[in-house]
Homo-oligomer: A and B are copies of this chain.
Amino acid sequence: MTGTLFGVGVGPGNPMQMTYEAVEIIKQTTHIAIPTAKPYAADTSFHNDTTSASPQNRGVLALNEILTKCSAYQIALGQVPELPDKKILPVYMPMTKNAPSLEKAHQEGAALIQQYLDSGHDVAFLTLGDPTVYSTYMYVQQRLLPLGYNCRIISGIPSFCASAAELTEALSVKDEMIHVIPASYPTLDALHFPGTKVFMKSGKQLPRLLSELREHPELYQSVQMVENCGMPTQKCYSSLEEIPENAGYFTTIIVK
């Protein structure tokens, strides 16, 4: 029988924020797929340069390096200590906007998982936060669902809910709207939306976003930010003045 693909949200960072369902699915599943921003050294298709001694010199990573760098894996490990005994499938998800490179990586990732589903194994693909909100899992599901594979999404706490919680702040009350905006969208246009604006993963675009916020104080009541929400390195900022220009990639900015 063909296996089932689970997209499992492990929440924003703290293993205590995982759901019982997510932990149960991970425990029951023998094959765990995890996203990696650099290719896996054991994957021979990426071995263009076999002369270098260290995998890192070739721009690829050994499995232990991938596991250390993968936040979703590290979070799950906090509730499922037997995770290292399972078969880990690193899925290469390059952080690039180059469409052909992305297409190639997503196709190869889907093909890798498809192979295990075909041989009857269930596969749990771990994602940070919630699988329905900007997750790499969706690139795999989008390819396998139309082929008739059984896919199930296991919800996780999205980082923007966890960020508002850390700020002890509502995202919305009464009839307020919430707008979740990826950093690539023009800030100034987004600031005109009524209600709460949540800017996600604003890392690289942060200086531009902050400068637009500083130029248009008439468009908002408050600006708050959480960096690395749920991680040991988490920091909260409760006003625009406090926010540094050089924050990391996992920043969530809440504008009211």
Query: Does any Cβ of B come within 8 Å of A85's Cβ?
Result: no
A179 touches B182 (CB 8 A): no
Say which one of A18-26, A52-60, A65-73 lies at the interface with B.
A18-26
Inter-subunit contact A172/B168 (CB<8 Å): no
CA distance A154 to B162 in the complex (A): 8
Interface residue ranges of A128-182 to B (CB < 8 Å): 130-135, 138-139, 141-142, 145, 151-158, 161-162, 164-166, 168-182
- Asked if B16 and A20 make an inter-chain contact with CB atoms under 8 angstroms apart, the answer reads yes
**A182 near B171: Cβ-Cβ < 8 Å:** no
Is A46 in the interface zone, CB < 8 Å from B? no
Q: Using Cβ atoms and an 8 Å threshold, which residues of chain B touch A157?
A: 19, 130, 155-157
If over half of A's interface residues share one DSSP class (helix, strand or loop), that class is named, otherwise mixed; here it is mixed
**A182 smallest CB distance to B (angstroms):** 5
- Whether the Cβ atoms of B18 and A134 lie closer than 8 Å is no
Q: In this assembly, does A17 line the interface, its C-beta being within 8 Å of a C-beta of chain B? A: yes
A170 touches B132 (CB 8 A): yes
Whether the Cβ atoms of A132 and B169 lie closer than 8 Å is yes
> A158: nearest residue on chain B (CB-CB)?
B161
A132 and B166 alpha carbons, distance in the complex (Å): 10
Q: Is A202 an interface position by the 8 A CB rule?
A: no
Shortest 3 CB-CB contacts between residues of A and residues of B: A153-B165, A132-B164, A178-B180
